[in-house]
Structure 1
Amino acid sequence: MNDVVRITRESSVLTITINRPERRNALNETVAQGIARGLDEAEADRQVRAVVLTGAGDKAFCAGGDLQLNADGTPFTIAADDPRHYVAQLFRRIQACRLPIIARVNGHALAGGFGLVCACDLAVACEDALIGVTEVKVGIFPMMILPLLMRVVPDRTLMEMCLTGETMTAGEAAQQRLVNYAVPASELDAKLDWLVARVTSKSPTGIRLGKQSLAKMREMNFDHALEYAQFMLANMTRTMDAREGFTAFAEKRAPVWTGE
């Protein structure tokens, strides 16, 4: 296990912690690979039903990319014709994960850090954490995270964030549904546990297939999405979890999920 990313499991929840508090949990290639490795471990373990992504300490969830100036003064090197950049690979890996991923936003989530929040399925944040995309302040635009922002952030809000580079608190972000919940820091873990429990008590098979379907439908036009939805629903009704769910409903009892 790489020490810049901690991977721990408690019961049915695997937690991935970016462990670079001295660098405000900034994202670099080693961190990206560590997060991807955590997702691999989670999906390989049939006992895991949810993933929590967070940062170490109480200052930052992730302050974005770890920018180090090159000799010519540029902040980083990226090849326009190479789709294998570690940030793109990480976001593809998160997109492909069939387990629900919940961001525990313990501190500021800026630039690529906010991209990570948007890549997760759900987010619980400290209400005073700052959220924003500040790239325009250093002469660039949040290009690598735009596909994720466009899924979560309303267009007018997205444009204002990108064009001004100004931040907002997570409390303000929650009012616009950019995060699901924003609470005082002292209540963060209690709210996270509450949300995780609501997710992990549901059918793991239904969630896995549902996440897979949603990812596919985002790439389709309306008619193709409806056709795919019908196909997937027919398949889902044949799973053991679906049979158990309907039986438990008829018998007025709590379902016992097998994840099959």
Structure 2
Amino acid sequence: MQEPSDVLVLAERHGDVLTLTLNRPDQFNALSEAMLDALQAQFDGCRDDTGLRVVVLAARGRAFCAGHDLKQMRTHEGDADYYRDLFARCGRLMQSIVGCPVPVIARVHGTATAAGCQLVASCDLAVAADTARFAVSGINVGLFCSTPAVALTRNVSLKNAFEMLVTGQFISAAQAVERGLVNHAVPDDQLDQAVSGLVDAIVAKSPLAVRIGKAMVYRQLGMPLPQAYEYAAGVMAENMLTDDVSEGIDAFMQKRPAQFRGK
């Protein structure tokens, strides 16, 4: 049986909540090729998991994630095809997080840099320890963080994102909240409690409505305004026909807790 130190991504399931924990603490959870593959396999497995309600993405050690494994990348110096494939695989993983049918919450401590910051930006929600720091620091070694920029500019304003990208400077957890990269920053010893509170709030809602809603939000983002409203109206009309909405409205009028069944 493998020891935890041999498993790059620890998966722990409690009921309908899956916690995925990055497990390369001595390497600051850098995204090696094997780590990317391990994370990809986990998110691939989420696609058809009808009992899943929430995924929490956490990490062991002193850092959340230090980005790509630069030491491994240097062993392929001059190999453009290798780098194209590596960054494409990373992009696929980030899209799989967005495409995961249930909310994904980043639980962030320590530092999240470069592709590690991209991981945070790709999650639907993020809660950070107030001592956490964030950067897209590739520019410091002459590499513009182009793929992290895709996720970052979809979370924070362009000027704030560009400043991070061209300076490589860290921002604090409080600044990350102000800029929209993170939902909440809490004292270190309250991090698990804050994540659990968010998980509990989501799990209390209709699982069908949450899945419908996540897919709808991301799909409409790329649409012109009239098309987005037309699409949203259709989704909402279909949602109204579900048993969960009938139960939810009845429960509201009867002043009792709703008993959602995901139908």
Instruction: Give the alignment's TM-score, normalised by structure 2.
Output: 0.91
Please point out which of 243, 250, 256 is paired with 1:247: 250
Answer whether contact 1:103 1:117 (CA < 8 A) is retained: yes
Deviations 1:124-154 (A, max 9, x none): 1111111011011111111112221111111
Q: Give the residue type in structure 2 aligned to 1:28.
A: S
1:237 aligned partner: 240
Distance 1:84 1:71, change over 3 A: closer
Partner of 2:36: 32
Which ranges of structure 1 fall in alignment gaps of 5 or more residues?
none
1:21 paired residue among 22, 25, 37 = 25
Structure-2 change in CA distance of 1:83 and 1:65 (3 Å): closer
- Other structure's SS at 1:54 match: strand
Change (3 A) 1:83 1:17: closer
Is 1:67–1:75's contact at 8 Å kept on the other side of the alignment? no
Report the more deviating stretch, 222-231 or 175-184.
175-184
Deviations 1:79-128 (A, max 9, x none): 3xx69821011012112111000000022111100100010111111111
Distance of 1:76 and 1:17 partners within structure 2: 30
Shift of 1:248: 1.1
Give the secondary-structure state (helix, strand or coil) at the position aligned to 1:103. Answer: strand
Does structure 1 conserve the Cα–Cα contact (< 8 Å) formed by 2:136 and 2:148? Answer: no
SS in 2 for 1:98: coil
Rounded Cα–Cα distance in structure 1 between residues aligned with 2:248 and 2:19: 28
Matches within 5 A, 1:74-153: 77-79=82-84, 85-153=88-156
The range that moved more, 162-171 or 40-49, is 40-49
Q: 1:67 is matched with which residue?
A: 70
What is the SS of the residue equivalent to 1:220? Answer: coil
Deviation at 1:48, TM superposition (A): 2.1
CA distance in 1 between counterparts of 2:142 and 2:104 reads: 32
TM-score (norm 1): 0.92
Percent identical across equivalent pairs? Answer: 37
Distance in 1 of aligned mates of 2:214 and 2:122? 13
Q: What is the root-mean-square deviation of aligned Cα atoms in Å?
A: 2.1
Letter of the 1:199 counterpart: I
1:204 aligns with 2:207: yes
